[in-house]
Structure 1
Amino acid sequence: MRADRLVSLVLLLRRHGRLTAEALARELEVSTRTVLRDIEALSAAGVPVYAERGRHGGFALLPGFRTELTGVSHDEALALLTGEPVFGLGPALTSAMRKVVDALPDDHRAKASDAARRFLVEPETDLLSRRTSIEELPAETMMEVRRAVLAGHRLRIHYAATGQEPRWRAVDPIGLVTVRERGYLLATRAGADRTYRLSRVRAAEKLPEPARRPPQVDLDRIWRERCAQFLSGDHIAVLARVRLSRREELLSSAVAVRAEEAGDDGWVRLEVTFQDLRHAVWALWQLGPDAEALTPPALRAALHDRAAAIAARYVNPPAADDG
Structure 2
Amino acid sequence: MLLLRRHGRLTAATLARELEVSTRTVLRDIEALSAAGVPVYAERGRRGGFALLPDFRTDLTGLHHDEALALLVAGSGRGEQVFGLGSALASAMRKVADALPESHRDTASDAARRLLVDPETDLLSRRLPTEELPDPTMIEVRRAVLVGHKLRIHYAATGQAPQWRTVDPIGLVTVHGRGYLLATRSGTDRTYRLSRMLAAEELPEPAERPNQVDLDRIWRERCTQFLSEGDQVRVLVRVNPLRREELVSTALAVRAEEPDADGWPRLEVTYQDARHAEWALWQLTTDAEALSPQWLRASLRDRAAAMVSCYGVSS
Q: TM-score, normalising length from structure 2? A: 0.56
State the AA in 2 paired with 1:15. Answer: G
The answer on whether the counterparts of 2:79 and 2:174 sit within 8 Å (CA) in structure 1 is no
**SS state at 2:133 partner:** coil
Matched, 1:91 2:93: no
Q: Matched residues, percent identical? A: 63
Does residue 133 of structure 2 align to residue 137 of structure 1?
Answer: yes
Deviation at 1:7, TM superposition (A): 8.7
Partner of 1:240: 237
CA distance in 2, matches of 1:160, 1:176: 18
Task: Confirm whether residue 293 of structure 1 aligns to residue 290 of structure 2.
Answer: yes
Name the residue aligned to 2:62: 15
Q: Which amino acid letter does the alignment assign opposite residue 140 of structure 1?
A: P
Q: 1:217 aligns with which of 189, 213, 229?
A: 213
Shift of 1:303: 4.2
1:223, 1:157 → 2: CA distance?
Answer: 21
Kindly state the Cα deviation for residue 151 of structure 1 after the two structures are TM-superposed.
1.5
TM (norm. structure 1) is 0.55
Give 1:10 shift.
3.7
1:157 maps to: 153
CA distance in structure 1 between the partners assigned to 2:276 and 2:78 by the alignment: 38
Structure 2 distance, partners of 1:193, 1:266, is 42
Letter in 1 for 2:62: R
- Within-5 A mapping of 1:30-45: none
- Structure 1's 246 and 164: CA in aligned 2 closer, same or farther, altered over 3 A? farther
Name the residue aligned to 1:302: 295
CA contact (8 A) 1:236 1:273 kept: yes
Residues 264-313 of structure 1: per-residue CA shift (max 9 Å, x gap): x997766532124564245424544232124xxx42x3344456778999
Corresponding position of 1:318: none
Aligned partners of 1:155 and 1:204 also within 8 Å: yes
Give the partner amino acid of 1:292.
Answer: E
Q: String of CA shifts for 1:141-185, please: whole Å, max 9, x gaps.
A: 000101111111111100000111111111111111111111000
SS of alignment partner, residue 88 of structure 1 = coil
Q: Distance in 2 between matches of 1:313 and 1:145?
A: 50
CA distance in 1, matches of 2:87, 2:303: 57
C-alpha separation between the residues in 2 aligned to 1:193 and 1:221? 13
Going from structure 1 to structure 2, the CA distance change for 1:180 and 1:267 (only over 3 Å counts) comes to farther
- Cα deviation per residue 1:205-224 (whole Å; 9 max; x = unaligned)? 11111111111111111111
- Whether the aligned pair in 1 keeps the contact of 2:79 and 2:177 (CA below 8 Å) is no
Counterpart of 2:87 in 1: which secondary structure?
Answer: helix
Number of aligned residue pairs: give it: 224
Aligned CA-pair RMSD: 4.6
Matched, 1:173 2:169: yes
Gaps of 5+ in 1: 30-78, 104-121, 123-129, 315-323
SS in 2 for 1:273: strand
Q: CA deviation at 1:2?
A: 7.2
Stretches of structure 2 lacking an aligned partner (at least 5 in a row)? 8-54, 100-117, 119-125, 308-315
- Corresponding letter in the other structure for 2:201: E
Q: How does 1:24-63 map to 2 (within 5 A)?
A: 27=68
Q: Give the drift of 1:238.
A: 3.0
Measure the CA separation in 1 of the matches of 2:201 and 2:301. 57
AA at the equivalent of 1:170: T
Q: Is the 8 A contact 1:156 1:171 kept in 2?
A: yes
Q: Which residue of 1 aligns with 2:5?
A: 3
Relative to structure 2, which stretch is displaced further, 88-97 or 218-227?
A: 88-97
Give the drift of 1:136: 1.7
**Deviation digits for residues 188-235 of structure 1, max 9, x if unmatched?**
001100000000000001111111111111111111110111112242
Amino acid at match of 1:217: V
- Residues 185 and 8 from structure 1, CA distance in 2 versus in 1: closer, same or farther, beyond 3 angstroms? farther
